[in-house]
Amino acid sequence: MSPEESTQSVSRSEPGRRPFVMPDAGQRARLRRKRNLVDRFYKYLIGAGGISVIVALLLIFVFLFIEVLPMLRPATIERGSEYDAPGVDRAAVEVAADAPGTFHIASERYLDVAARFSNDGQVVFFDPRDGSLIARETLELPEGVQIVSSAIAEPRTRLVALGLSDGTAIVVRHEYEVTYPDNQRRVEPSLSFPLEREPVRIDEEGQPLEQLAIQEGTRGGIVLAAYTEDGRLLSVRYDAARQGLLATAVTFERTAVELPRPAERVRALLVSITLSDLLVGDFDGRLSYYNIRNFDNPVLQDTRQVVDDGATVSAMDYLLGTVSVIIGGSDGSVTQWMLVRDEATNERYLAKVRSFRGHDGPVVSIRPEYSRKGFVTASEDGTVGIHFSTSSRTLVHRKVSDVPLEYAILAPRANGLLVASSDDRIQFFEVTNDHPQVSMNALWGKVHYEGYAETQYRWESSSATDEFEPKFSVIPLTVGTLKAALFAMMFAIPIAILGAIYSAYFMTPKLRGVVKPCIEIMEALPTVILGFLAGLWLAPFVESHLPAVVLLAVLVPGSIILASLVWMALPRAVHQRIPDGWEVAILVPVVLAAGWFCVFVSPYVEVAYFNGDMRQWLTDQGIAYDQRNAMIVGMAMGFAVIPTIFSISEDAIFSVPRHLSQGSLALGATRWQTMVGVVLLTASPGLFSAVMIGFGRAVGETMIVVMASGNSPVVDWSLFQGLRTLSANIAVEMSETDRGGTHYRILFLTALLLFGLTFVVNTVAEVVRQRLRKKYSSL
């Protein structure tokens, strides 16, 4: 044999075929290097893909957390400047025994101009950041008449009233005209008189107005309430009436009434923006509620002790919207009260809502925010506090002066704080308080919202009115998410897993080759189509055929069992005509017939047992029924989840080693006993993985819930009530939010919660799947 022949092995070949030649050592080395290179490339490619998935998940988490992080930052105030109160002659003050104090400060929206009202009738406009004087006006008082009281209306009205010693009052509004000469913003402050320039008569007897309140109604009209020196409680209402051909002349119709005399000396008065409620705080620490809706016939409806015995009501003011009132006591206490309605009598009464961190000295000033349910308090001990009602938080509590304070007010955008002290000094503070609504209790606990008699979980993020109190409890959304997923799984698990058992173990391979791909193709159906059909077709159909739904749940399984019993009773010759694994084909017409029968008899059952209307019958039993409810969501979402659970479960059951089931059959067990005792136990990790992945899919589903649930965020596990899930809420409300606002960031918080929930569920399912593969890899 030649050397060339010795290095090659030639296989036997058939005539006409090229003989196969084994590669030599060099070729084998090159092939090995190529194979190693390809293996290494795909190894690193797959590793890079896995790492990129992890990095993508981490980036999503980081992005969500960055959007949520600003809500966790505490509120702060930074001293910007301190100066003598504008308009005060410091030399005259040092000589005089009693200098005029500050009873009100207000600012323009962007803190370009502020106004200071003093007890001597001076109105000074100044720059709040440095105290520089901009303009000064003096209110004209009748000769020999002094200012003895003052009142401030709801902040957005910019209305101020001064009670005089002759029983009259001056009503004035501070206004700010904004112009843009040469593209520069310019603010021109001025005063206007909404009633008359001259003082208006409150008390016909001319007694000094010891206490005063003023309010402008949302639908027009101005009400002034006053407590006179001789102990009478008066109320005067002015309603505008337009006259003339073009209705340009405005006159006011005056209506005056004397209310029931208070039992104790009055300390403060408040009127609501509806002009129907008058609150009276007295020196005995009590708060009284007068119903003045029928202005000519006011009624004292309720009186409550609002501070501890021995203390007095030292200050009080409404929050935005004049639904809740904040009470400050001479003992430094700060509490919130509001009017709630008694369902039994339909009468309103005063109820305490919550308490806030108090002061060590009497509270002398309480002023609300312009656009939120926050407020600021000032005390004689030199401390100020910034609080927020809904979250029950005292955001800032700080000592700012060594002398007693007179007044404190937040800027309209809550980004500045002006504090006046008894030594006629004013301090300006920069305020950072972007998200006061957020707290653990506000997000996860029951909250006593305005207008409700009890604490509740509620999600109501917006309304048509500015004074609306946002409600950001995520409990209704979390419950809605779990409720939708639970009902979907209750619908999907029995159908998917029982179908997988039959398909993998009992069905003929030919039929399985058709059924399994068809069910898996169902997973490609767009969920928006399923939601559309569920909301516009399934929900109305179920509502009009409620008895059919109940009958379907009973008669369809019953008909299947009955058909099975009939099949077992048939002769063996009949059984032999149907090949093994095709028995399911017999059940198809049985199920269809049972479904048709349920729909057909539904109207007759409804007439016979539910007075012709099962929905109304449920309502009469105290069970509310919404057309788009959790049952509709469960059906539609369950239909979407079935392919996922079925496919994974079927693969898990089909992959059980045949020798295990064959060994069980060889020992005398029936096919059903083998399935229950051997196959299901072996495939149980895979079944668990299928259920968990299906649950994760249901938790994150959006479009079906948006279109079929009614989107009502309620904490109710009823099958017939609507719901709102975390994902649907994000889809519905994200476009309506103000970027960077509290609502915007809370939606990102719910997204983070949803991300964490689905991540945990899917991770657990994947861990179970990996353990399953490892457990059976050696079989």
Least Cα distance to 742 among 129, 272, 73, 175 occurs for 73
**Residue 225 placed within a domain:** yes
| Number of other residues whose CB lies within 10 A of the CB of residue 328 | 30
- Give the Å distances, CA to CA, from 449 to 373, 434, 454, 477, 658: 11, 21, 8, 18, 63
Residue 720: CATH number of its domain: 1.10.3720.10
Distance CA 419, CA 428 (A): 7
- In the Cβ-directed half-sphere of 170, how many Cα atoms lie within 13 Å? 27
Q: How far apart are the first and last CA of the chain?
A: 49
Cα separation, 98 vs 459, whole angstroms = 52
Full DSSP string of 233-279 = EEEEEEEEEEESTTS-EEEEEEEEEEEPPPSS-EEEEEE-TTS-EEE
Residue 337: closest CA among 324, 346, 348: 324
User: What percent of the chain lies above the pLDDT cut of 70?
Assistant: 94
Tokens of residue 157, six digits: 């009205």
Q: What is the pLDDT of residue 247?
A: 52
**pLDDT of 325-339, one tens digit each?**
999 999 999 999 999
Q: Return the bridge partners of 105, or none.
A: 116
Q: Is residue 241 part of a domain?
A: yes
Average pLDDT over residues 484-491: 93
DSSP helix/strand/coil, 180: coil
Is residue 346, in this structure, part of any structural domain at all? no
Who's near 377: CB < 8 A, 6+ residues apart? 315, 326, 328, 334, 359, 363, 365, 366, 384, 385, 387, 408
Question: For residues 356 and 388, what is the distance between their CA atoms, to the nearest angstrom?
Answer: 9
Is residue 554 a part of any domain in this protein? yes
The residue among 338, 384, 381 whose CA lies nearest residue 360 is: 381
Q: Per-residue pLDDT for 296 more than 90? A: no
β-strand partners of 99: none
Nearest to 421 by CA among 436, 441, 401: 401
Tell me the pLDDT tens digit for each residue of 407-417. Answer: 999 999 999 99
- Per-residue pLDDT at 11 exceeds 70: no
Say yes or no to pLDDT of 378 above 60: yes
Structural domain contains residue 401: no
**458 phi and psi, to 5 degrees?**
-145, 145
Tell me which of 4-8, 56-60, 334-338 is least confident.
4-8
- In this predicted structure, the answer to whether residue 110 has a pLDDT above a threshold of 50 is yes
For the ranges 10-24, 187-201, 709-723, the lowest mean pLDDT is seen at 10-24
- Pick the range with the lowest mean pLDDT from 126-140, 230-244, 276-290, 622-636: 230-244
Averaged pLDDT, 164-182: 92
Q: Please report the pLDDT score of residue 174 as a whole number.
A: 93
* Domain assignment present for 237: yes
Per residue in 544-585, pLDDT tens? 999 999 899 899 989 989 988 888 888 888 877 877 778 788
Specify the pLDDT at position 748: 94
- What's the CA gap between 168 and 198, in Å, rounded? 9
Q: How many Å apart are CA 421 and CA 332, to the nearest integer?
A: 17
Q: Of 284, 305, 326, which closes a domain?
A: 305
Give dist(CA 42, CA 468) in Å, integer.
Answer: 59
- What total number of domains does the chain contain? 2
193: in domain: yes
> What is the structure's pLDDT at 583?
77
Query: Tens digits of per-residue pLDDT, 184-198?
Result: 899 999 999 998 888
Q: How confident is the model at residue 738 (pLDDT cuts 50, 70, 90)?
A: confident
Name the nearest CA neighbour of 178 among 168, 170, 186.
186
DSSP for residue 194:
S
Number of H helices, E strands in the chain: 19, 31
SS3 of 363, please?
strand
Q: pLDDT band at 251, cuts 50/70/90? A: confident
Of the listed ranges 11-20, 444-453, 483-492, 530-539, the least confidently predicted one is: 11-20
Among residues 268, 284, 305, which one ends one of the domains?
305
The pLDDT of residue 101: 75
- Is the confidence at residue 172, as pLDDT, over 90? yes
For 384-405, letters b (16+ CB in 10 Å) and e give bbbbbbbbbbbbbeeebbeebb
pTM: 0.85
Contacts of 141 (CB under 8 A, 6+ apart): 121, 147, 164, 170, 199
Q: Cα(153)–Cα(161) distance, rounded to whole angstroms?
A: 8
Which pLDDT tens digit goes with each residue over 88-98? 765 555 544 45
Looking at residue 99, its pLDDT comes to: 52
For position 252, what pLDDT does the model report? 80
Instruction: Please check the confidence at residue 17 and state whether its pLDDT lies above 70.
Output: no
Q: Over the stretch 515-544, which tens digit does the pLDDT of each residue have? A: 888 988 888 888 899 999 999 999 999 999
Mean per-residue pLDDT for 390-397? Answer: 93
pLDDT, averaged across the chain: 88
Are 334 and 354 in contact by the 8 Å Cβ rule? The answer is no
Residue 607 structural domain: 475-778
Domain boundary among 252, 275, 305: 305
Position 19 in a domain: no
Residue 493 Cα distances to 138, 274, 518, 686, 762, angstroms: 79, 55, 18, 13, 17
Sign of CA dihedral 670, 673, 677, 678: positive
Tokens 């077992």 belong to residue: 568
Question: Which pLDDT band holds residue 481 (cuts at 50, 70, 90)?
Answer: very high
Q: What is the mean pLDDT of residues 720-746?
A: 91
What's the pLDDT score for residue 571? 86
- pLDDT for 705: 92
| Interatomic CA distance for residues 106 and 114, integer angstroms | 6
Q: Give, in order, the Cα–Cα distances in Å from 136 to each of 85, 124, 145, 174, 191.
A: 13, 4, 21, 12, 10
